Amino acid sequence: MQKKLTIRKAEESDIPNIIGLIKELAEYEKLLHLVELTETDLKNVLFGENKFVQVLLAEYDGSLAGQALFFNNFSTFLGKPGIYLEDLYVKPEFRSNGIGKALLNKLISIAKEKNYGRVEWCVLDWNKSAIDFYKSIGAVELEEWKIFRLTSDKF
């Protein structure tokens, strides 16, 4: 019997599960100690008055399997908006079932539908399996770019 994969937009009732997946990803990346996100924070950015984040959830045979959390960015060179993928996470027990690719394909279809210029994301340099996966779908590594960050404690 073939397993069924469903990709859907998150609903407000999904907030605890979304935070759970964010924490699982953070633990995998050895960054769990940096997670400060609360349900209220997430509710505000997903469903509040100034919402700007979206989440796609993947369900595999009725079980929560992964998510893509993203928001819009803008390319001054292209003169078009794009999608920035903040988190792509598939639970370990569901990997190798095409779920990550399905989530990315959904983002790509959203970008095409809205005539966006690009879909971008970052990956940790030690995460070889993710890097290999991204390259296998045609993503290009931008080696000449460095990411800089200024956190609110430095404002």
Gap between the terminal Cα atoms of the chain: 55
CB 56 within 8 A of CB 48: no
Residue in 60, 89, 116, 134 annotated catalytic? 134
* Residue 60 annotated among the catalytic residues of the structure: no
What whole-number distance in Å separates Cα of residue 139 and Cα of residue 9?
Answer: 24
Which residues carry out catalysis? 134
